[in-house]
Structure 1
Amino acid sequence: MRPLLLLVACALAPATLLANEANPVAVHCGQVFDSRSGEVRGPHTLLVRNGRIEQMVTGGHADVLGTPSIDLRGHTCMPGWTDLHVHLGSQSSPDSYSEGFRLDDVDYAFRSVGYARKTLLAGFTSVRDLGGEVAPHLRDAINQGLVDGPRIWAAGKSIATTGGHADPTNGYNSMLSHLLGPPGPTEGVINSVDEARQAVRQRYKEGSDVIKITATGGVLSYARSGDAPQFTVDEVSAVVQTAKDYGYAVAAHAHGEEGMRRAVEAGVTSIEHGTYMSDEVMSLMKQRGTWYIPTIHAGRFVAEKAEIDGYFPEVVRPKAARIGALIQDTAARAHRAGVKIAFGTDMGVGPHGDNAREFLYMVEAGIPAAQALQAATIRAAEVLGVEDQGVLAPGKRADVVAVRGNPLDNIETVLDVAFVMKDGKVYKQPERDAQATSASAPAP
């Protein structure tokens, strides 16, 4: 990846709507979602200063003399949402497979800027990007204020085995494979314990925030199996142990039961997708405290697209039809079994900005609306290992999302986000309040 070219691409993106980082802003909420209890509480005023919630006044709307205010009295305010499984460098289409041979890194970088902004405006102030070389550079560009987007925990290149779900040469013909040579740990492909350690260290060298492994086959890779285990027990253990040395959590893409079992026993932080999760694996996850990230949206999306001739290569199509349709049922069983569930969509498979539809699918699976919202707030913060977000409270990050009405009564309200604040910056708000706040706020 060429960081300089990426930053040039990022610098051309549109600027933030309105910034209130250094100046206090009073946000008047009709009600707030308490992510600790899972309850909606009455009117509150949030006083935001320097990117943090400084005060919360309950039971009314406190006016602070000379402070710009935002009127959300017809809305429910919530902590900014977190999607724990996205791929901001790409988006599925019938051209996805051929584009890998035609597009350059900079093409993907330009696209990622728009995808990041859509994600933020949909209410997701934080994401884990689980596989993609663009993501660490996009993260840095967002942190530098060059473009708008969510806070990113970036895995960089996913770690796979030869021919595995994240082997970048799957589908190449013999001539191209001969010219390029077999990928190794630098490219995220391993075949031994030593190479597993090297691949983790390479991700550290490249500035990743989290490690992603493809513990089993996958749906969209150009390969036949979607569920076979692809790491030995020793290999996945070496990844986890080395990651621990560097303070990394490990997320494991896994559809098949045996690959999941190996990953959980090795100590991964989360299982992603989990399609063929058995009762035994669920029990083991509960014993080990392993998180489950269902990604129901991706499952439904690929199952739907598998019905369209030509959308997927023929080697992919039967996997998409078979595996995708099962994920929502797995999420329902895992919830009933008491497995810890947090929020993730695998967006990039589906269209960026549509992330909140996962809430609806979780509720359809029998997960109460309050728990679905907790999965994207306080539970997601637990997965990330951070304590300063996921809750509306003094001292926490000023990440605030608001919707009209009460999402516990009607979960579909999450599809119409009216207000987004991240680190005290307002990126989206109701039109009348945008005009009023702009008139009274200091010039940036």
Structure 2
Amino acid sequence: MIPAIAIMGLAMLFAPTVAAEPVALTGVRLIDGIGAKPIEDATVVIDKGRIVSAGPAPKRLPYGTTVRDYRGRIVMPGLISDHSHVGQVRGVTSGTPNYTRENIVAALRAYEAKGVTTVMALGLNGAIFPSIRAEAHAGRLPGADVFGVDRGIGVPDGAPPQSMLKVGPDQLFRPSTPEQAREAIRAMKARGGDMAKLWLDDFGGSVPVKMKPEIYKAAINEAHTQGLRVAAHVHDLEDARAIVLAGADVVAHGVRDKPVDAAFVQLLKSSGTWYIPTLALDEATFIYADRPAWTRTPFVRDALSPELTARFDDPAWRSKTLADPKTAAARKSLAINLRNLKTLYDAGVKIGFGTDSGAAPERIPGVAEHRELVLMVEAGLTPLQAIGVATANAAALLKLDDRGTLTTGRLADLVVLSSDPSESIEDSVTIIETWHRGISSTSVER
């Protein structure tokens, strides 16, 4: 039997950290995340880490409410990434030595600082991840809340390329038989994964083989038996079609080799499969070598490590990157991805939000998510539609009904801005503060 004092200690350890008294943010322009027109002169009331009300000023505030005059400020829900990674990158390096508690917590802090309050770490997670996730859920870690897909399933001598990721044996399965695939799924379920992930394609021909149908079908069937949904890494239309037909629940990257056809659109709609474009992934391949003005703003530069700053400022690196055939391929992939997103969104396909941030040095946590918003608008979505994808839709993909909108009962995860991204999406970066579970990033040392 566990002593009562020990039980009390555990309860204190995992009790969520919330503000001690109600707070009302008055006079704001409110973007609620559900796509409605912004509400002028609104009041957001927060108590015990949740939204009490958000909209026109209530007639009465909870007893003891602290009132903060936020006139001239814009409030929107915290962003939610359905496809990111943690612990893979430090400086300009990737690999197992970076997968440490310190580095993961630093990444979660970086996300939150840029207004991303929830992250799905979509694979490549090591043995320390379950305890970190539990602490984050309990509000005992600084930074964004984090969910995870555990290790994920790759291909022997195939995707994802070990030469690129340099991950350890406890971060990835590479089954060679259907039974090994089923065993891998069971192991990930036992370690508490929130979803399963598999890498289907051949990374543009850079690896010699793709995942065999008997492997991914066995993995998907076992995952569903275990109550896990499956996200699949794809690039090409035919791979995406095959994996959705096999039962995948999430297409974890946009289709980037050709325009999607009507049959694929209907397949996504009839199956209810989620589609995450990850537009910013391909842009990150070349954009810091292109050096547009936004890459040199404090919002971006403050997020860079000294090593990454030096890389981006190096003319030799920029020249080499721009001359690399991968850059031309990434530009083409991005252009196709943009067109496909507009087609799928207009058709009513369920669109999620993610960037593959944290998987490579150039995919900068927090920065990438704001680029995704800009690129979604470039694809043809309105700013409010893009914000809705990054908040309400992103929460729905993760089946999280406690966040994603600023409505009564939801977690008080919100971003306060000085300019309105519903009018100009580029203004999503004008962050004054991030509130996470009702605590302001500027009001408490976390």
TM exceeds 0.5? yes
Sequence identity percentage: 27
Matched with 2:380 is 366
Tell me if structure 2 keeps the 8 A contact 1:29–1:76: no
Offset from partner CA, 1:24-58 (integer Å, 9 cap, x none): 12122512113223421222222212221123351
CA distance in 2, matches of 1:229, 1:305: 31
1:380 aligns with 2:388: no
1:194 aligns with 2:179: yes
Name the SS of the counterpart of 2:132 in structure 1.
helix
- Segments of structure 1 that go 5 or more residues without pairing to the other structure are 1-18, 173-179, 429-433
Give TM-score, length-normalised by structure 2: 0.78
Cα deviation for residue 112 of structure 1 reads: 2.2
1:346 aligns with 2:361: no
CA distance in 2, matches of 1:214, 1:284: 20
CA distance in 1, matches of 2:178, 2:318: 37
Matched with 2:234 is 254
Which has the higher mean CA deviation after the structures are superposed, 39-48 or 148-157?
A: 39-48
Q: How many residues align?
A: 392
- Segments of structure 2 that go 5 or more residues without pairing to the other structure are 1-16, 291-314
CA distance in 1, matches of 2:32, 2:78: 12
Residue identity in the other structure for 2:95: G
Name the SS of the counterpart of 1:70 in structure 2.
strand
Offset from partner CA, 1:202-248 (integer Å, 9 cap, x none): 111222211111111237xxx714xx872233322222222222322
Tell me if structure 2 keeps the 8 A contact 1:236–1:262: no
Residue identity in the other structure for 2:183: Q
Cα deviation for residue 193 of structure 1 reads: 1.6
Q: Cα gap change, 1:313/1:145 in structure 2, threshold over 3 Å: closer, same or farther?
A: farther
CA distance in 1, matches of 2:417, 2:365: 19
Q: Cα gap change, 1:372/1:170 in structure 2, threshold over 3 Å: closer, same or farther?
A: closer
Q: Cα gap change, 1:329/1:366 in structure 2, threshold over 3 Å: closer, same or farther?
A: farther
Name the SS of the counterpart of 1:420 in structure 2.
strand
Which has the higher mean CA deviation after the structures are superposed, 130-139 or 296-305?
A: 130-139
1:283-298 mapped onto 2 (5 Å cutoff): 283-298=266-281
1:11-410 mapped onto 2 (5 Å cutoff): 20-56=18-54, 58-59=56-57, 66-91=64-89, 95-96=92-93, 100=95, 103=97, 105-106=99-100, 109-134=101-126, 135-166=129-160, 168=162, 187-218=172-203, 224-225=206-207, 230-274=210-254, 275-276=256-257, 278-279=260-261, 280-304=263-287, 318-319=325-326, 321-323=328-330, 325-337=332-344, 338=347, 339-348=349-358, 349=360, 350-354=363-367, 355-410=369-424
Tell me if structure 1 keeps the 8 A contact 2:85–2:357: yes
Which has the higher mean CA deviation after the structures are superposed, 120-129 or 250-259?
A: 250-259
CA distance in 1, matches of 2:271, 2:399: 16
Cα deviation for residue 169 of structure 1 reads: 6.8
Residue identity in the other structure for 2:155: T
Cα deviation for residue 170 of structure 1 reads: 7.3
Offset from partner CA, 1:320-352 (integer Å, 9 cap, x none): 541454134323323224233221111113122
